[in-house]
Structure 1
Amino acid sequence: MQADRDALLALVETLDLTAAEVPPGAQERLLARLRAETAPVSGPAPGAPLRTVPGRPVARSRSTTPLWTAAALAAALAVGLWLRPPADSLARYAAVPGAAAQALGPAGAPLGNLVRLPDGRVYVRLGQAPAQGRTYQLWRIAPGGAPVSLGVFGRDVLTASLPQGTSVAVSVEPPGGSPQPTTTPLFIQAL
C-alpha cells in the first residue's frame, strides 16, 4: 500500500498542477445560477389536498443536481489538494532526517540533484526537461549487472527502495523508453 502511494505521489509530482485563475465574476454567476435553479415552485394553495395517483410516489419538486454538483466539486478539490505535490519536492526530500543529497554530473555544471532517503528510495531532479520528442529513463545498475529500467520521467522521479551499493543512471530515450540504454547515460551515480 505504501509503495503504491509513493508511486502515485511520484507520478503526481511530474504533473503541472498549477492552480487556474477564477475569472472575475464567476462566483456571482454561479450563485445566481444556483438561486435560479432552486427557486420555489408554485404548488397548490395552502390547505388544499394533494392529488396522488395510487401506487405512484409523489414527485419531488426540486432537483438535487446542484447539490450533487457541489458535492462532486468539493470532493475533486479535496483530492486535488491532497495529491498536489509540495512547491519544492527537492527541498522537502533533502530535509528528511538522514537523507543524503548530492549534485549530479560534473563539478561546477551539475545536471541535477539526487537525494537518497533513509528508507532507500531515491529522488532525482534534473535541471531541464528532456528535448522535444525524448524522455529521461532511470536505470538501476547492480554491481556487475546490466542496467534495469526503473521507468521514464520528465524532470523528476521518486524510486522505490534501492539496495546500498546499487548505482543509478539516467539516459535520454525515445518516448516510452527502451529495454536497454540507447544513448550514453547523462550520469551514473553510486548510492
Structure 2
Amino acid sequence: MTHPDPDDLLRLALDLLPEGQGAGLRAHLRRCPSCRAAYRAYLEALTALAPEEPVPPSWEEELRERLRPRPLPSRRRVLALWLTALLLTLLGAFGLRTWQKALAERRFFALAAEPGARLMPLLAPSGQQTGWALRTSGGEVLLLLKSPLPPGRVYQAWLLQEGHRKSLGLSPTPLLELGPLPEGSLVGVSVEPPGGSPAPTTPSVGRARI
C-alpha cells in the first residue's frame, strides 16, 4: 500500500488541501490504520494548541524577510512558498511560542507516520497523558510534551534504571530528541532550571517505556 506524504496529513488536519485531494486522502485513511492513527495524532496536537501571546509586528516582518524566496529549483520553490504561507498563518493564529510548538509537533508526527515507528503515551504519575514517546524505525527515541514550559525553565529527560537517573539531555521546547536507546528503556521528563540538574528537582512530568 502506498502511504501519503506526512505533510499532506498535516495539511488535511489544518484543512489546507483542495477538496478533491482531501477526499482521496480521507478514503485512504478509512483503509489504512497507521495513517489514520498519525492523522488523529495531528488533530489531537492541533486541538491542544491555544493562543499564548501576540506576535510583535517586528517579528513578523523579520520572519517575512528571512523567508523571502531565493532562487531554488522549481519543486523546492513551491515547497518553500507553501511553508512560508503556513508559517505566517501559524504565527498570526497562535503566536510565536505556539508556532515553535507546532513546528516541533509537525516534525515529531511526521517521524511517527513513517513505517516501523512506534508511538506511546507519555504518562504522569496520576495516569494523565502529558505527551508522547516515539521510537523511530532507526531506533531513535523522541519525546513530545503537550504543555508549554514555565518562563526560565527547560525540560530535562532521564533514563530510569533501578533507581538511578541518568540525564539524557535538555530542551527549551516541548520536543526532546534522545538519540538511540535500548529496547524497553524507561524514560522520564522533569522541569528544571536552565543548564539542568544532576538529579530531578521536580515531580515527573511524564514517563514511558519505549
Classify the secondary structure of the residue corresponding to 1:98: coil
Aligned partner of 2:63 in structure 1 is: 20
- Report how far residue 98 of structure 1 moved: 0.8
Q: Point out the structure with the larger helix share.
A: 2
Identity of aligned pairs, percent? Answer: 32
Match of 1:149 among 167, 171, 174: 167
Match of 1:91 among 105, 109, 118: 109
Aligned partner of 1:190 in structure 2 is: 209
Per the alignment, do residues 124 and 87 of structure 1 end up closer, same or farther by CA in structure 2, a change over 3 Å counting? closer
Match of 1:129 among 137, 145, 148: 148
Task: Return the index of the structure with the highest Cα Rg.
Answer: 1
Q: Partners of 1:94 and 1:141 in 2: how far apart?
A: 23
5+ unaligned residues in a row in structure 1: which ranges? 1-17, 28-72
Aligned partner of 2:194 in structure 1 is: 175
Q: Partners of 2:137 and 2:179 in 1: how far apart?
A: 12
5+ unaligned residues in a row in structure 2: which ranges? 1-59, 81-102
- Report how far residue 102 of structure 1 moved: 1.8
- Report how far residue 145 of structure 1 moved: 4.9
Aligned partner of 1:53 in structure 2 is: none
Q: Partners of 1:157 and 1:186 in 2: how far apart?
A: 13
- Report how far residue 99 of structure 1 moved: 0.6
Indicate conservation of the 8 Å contact 2:119/2:132, yes or no.
Answer: yes
**TM-score, normalised relative to structure 2:** 0.48
Per the alignment, do residues 167 and 92 of structure 1 end up closer, same or farther by CA in structure 2, a change over 3 Å counting? same
Per the alignment, do residues 131 and 163 of structure 1 end up closer, same or farther by CA in structure 2, a change over 3 Å counting? same
Runs of 4+ in 1 over 3 A off after TM superposition: 106-109
1:100 aligns with 2:118: yes
Per the alignment, do residues 152 and 100 of structure 1 end up closer, same or farther by CA in structure 2, a change over 3 Å counting? same
Aligned partner of 2:48 in structure 1 is: none
- Report how far residue 109 of structure 1 moved: 4.7
Classify the secondary structure of the residue corresponding to 1:92: helix
Q: Partners of 1:151 and 1:127 in 2: how far apart?
A: 18
Q: Partners of 1:148 and 1:98 in 2: how far apart?
A: 27
Indicate conservation of the 8 Å contact 1:93/1:123, yes or no.
Answer: no
Aligned partner of 2:85 in structure 1 is: none
Q: What is the total number of aligned residue pairs between the two structures?
A: 118
Indicate conservation of the 8 Å contact 2:104/2:175, yes or no.
Answer: no
The aligned amino acid for 1:88 is R
RMSD over aligned Cα atoms = 3.2
